[in-house]
Structure 1
C-alpha cells in the first residue's frame, strides 16, 4: 500500500505547479517531538516536573494550573529552551528536500519552532503562533517580543523549579503579565500574524487555477478549521487541485472528494523519507 501511495504522490508532485503543505502536530510527533503524550523525550527533559506536579506531557505541563506564577514560568522557560535547542527532525529535512525545486508554501498549526528552523519565513504561516515570542496578555498593544534573552535570565536564576518573582516577564507598556505567543483566549492576531496569513492567502490566490497539490501532513481533529476543512474546500472548488492526506492514526478525506484526493494511513517519517528517495 505504501509503495503505491509513494508512486502516486511522487507523480502528483512532479506534475504540480505548486504545493501547499498543511503541517499538523503529527509531523512533529514523527520527528520525535510528541507534545501531547508521555514519552522518552519528556522523561529525559522534564522528569523533575513530572515528579513534582504529576505532569505527563509537554502539552499538559503548558496548560497545568500551577499554584504560583513562579512555578508556571519555571515550566515555560524550560519548555521554550527545549524547543529552541531541539535538533530539526528528519521528517522536516526530508520535506524540504521534497519541496526544494517546487513553488511551495507551509501552513502550520505547530508552534514548536521546527518549521522556522527549516523553511524561510516568506514561505510560511504559523497560524497558532511561535514560542520564540512573548506578547502582552491583555493584549494592550500590537507587538511581539523575542524572548531568548528573557528565557536565558529565568533559567540562570531558577530556584529549583521556580523562577524568581522579579524575572516574570511584564508588559513594558501596561505592566501586566506577558505570555508566550501561542493560541489561547488572549492570542494576539496582530500585524505580524496578519502579514503571515496574507502570504498564505496570496499563495492560494496565485495558484488556485494551476495544478495545485495540497499535502496535509499529520493533521488531527483539534483545529479542523485551520487546515483540514479549508483544504477540503479548495480540493472541491479548484479545478486542477488534488489533496493528499497522510496520518498515522487514520485515513481522512471526505466521500465527495473521490477522484480528487488520496488518503494515506502511514508513519509520516517513513512516508516522507521514501518520498524523498523516490523524487
Structure 2
C-alpha cells in the first residue's frame, strides 16, 4: 500500500477500536522538534554555552556527563529541565490527542520530557523511565518524589559561569544528600509513584486485553527505537500475537518490518511522524489529505 492508503487503513482501525494503547518513544518528541539524542534548534539554543564548553554531542550527553562538581552538574540539569518546562506543546501531541479523542486511551512512554502530561490526564499515563519534572533523593533514602518547577527556576536565575551556588543545590529533607532528577539511572526510584503508573497500565490491559474481553484494541507505537525494546515494542508484539482483537501499528521515521507471526495483524508506516499524525488526524476527521 502507498502511504495514503496505509493512513486511511489505520484510521479505519482506530474508528473501529474500543480502546487505544499508545506506546510513545523519543521519536515522537523529535517530530515535535525536541530531539534529546541529537541537536535541534530549540534545545541547542537553550544549551548552547554548555554544548560549546563541554563538547556535548546531544542534550542527553550533557545529562549523563561526568561533571567535576555537583554545582556544575545541577547547572546543566537546571537549564535542560527548564527548557522542557518552557517548551511549547508539540503539534504532533495535539494531533495525537485529536486522533484518539473518542476512545478509551492509555499511554505507556519512555519519554521524560513532560509533553504527554500536557494533553492526557496523569491517570492515563505510565512514565516508565521517570519524568524530568520531579526530583528524588540520590540514595534514595525514602519513597517520595517532588515537583522541581520552583527550584529549577531559582537555579536558572543564578547560573554563573555554568555553575550554581552550593546553597541552591537541592538536598533531601530526610538525609541531606543531594537530590537528582527522577529519570532512569542506577539510583532511579521505582517507588510508589512509579508502581502506581505501572498499576494503571496493568489495569488498562486487564480491562481491554485480558479476562476474556471482546474489545477491539489498537496498539499505536509512535517513535519507538531499539534502545529499550523490552518496554514497549516487544510487549506490543506479544500482545498482538496473543489477542485476536488487537491490531498493531508502528509509526516511525525509518522503515521497519513486523515479525513474521504478526504480519497480518499490523501495519508499519514510515516517514515524517509529524506529517503522518497530521494526515491521520485529518482522515479520522473526514478531511481529504
Q: Superposition pairs for residues 27-106 of structure 1, below 5 Å?
A: 27-106=28-107
Superposition deviation, residue 160 in structure 1: 2.2
Q: Residue in 2 aligned with 1:239?
A: 244
Within 5 A, what are the aligned runs for 1:191-210? Answer: 191-208=192-209, 209=213, 210=215
Contact 1:131 1:180 (C-alpha < 8 Å) held by counterparts: yes
**Alpha-carbon displacement from aligned partner over 1:92-150 (angstroms, at most 9, x marks no partner):** 00000011111111110000010101111111111111111100111110001111111
Q: Does the 8 Å contact 1:245/1:252 carry over to 2?
A: no
- For residue 162 of structure 2, what is the aligned residue in structure 1? 161
Task: Let me know the Cα RMSD of the aligned residues.
Answer: 1.0
User: Aligned partners of 1:253, 1:109: CA distance in 2, in Å?
Assistant: 21
* Structure 2: segments with no counterpart, 5+ residues: 285-289
Distance 1:84 1:249 in 2: 29
What runs of 5+ residues in structure 1 fail to find an aligned partner?
none
Equivalent position of 1:4 in the other structure:
5
Between 114-123 and 84-93, the greater mean CA deviation after superposition: 114-123
1:111 corresponds to which residue?
112
2:142 maps to what in 1?
Answer: 141
Residue 72 of structure 1, CA deviation: 0.7
Q: 2:190, 2:206 → 1: CA distance?
A: 21
The alpha carbon displacement at 1:4 in A equals 1.1
TM-score, normalization by structure 1: 0.98
How many angstroms does 1:42 deviate by?
3.0
How many pairs were matched up? 279
Give the Cα–Cα distance (whole angstroms) in 2 for the partners of residues 44 and 259 of structure 1.
Answer: 45
3-state SS of paired residue (1:28)? helix
Name the SS for the 1:36 alignment partner: coil
SS of residue paired to 2:264: coil
1:252 shift after superposition? 3.8
Matched-pair contact (CA < 8 Å) for 1:24–1:110: yes
Structure 2 length-normalised TM: 0.94
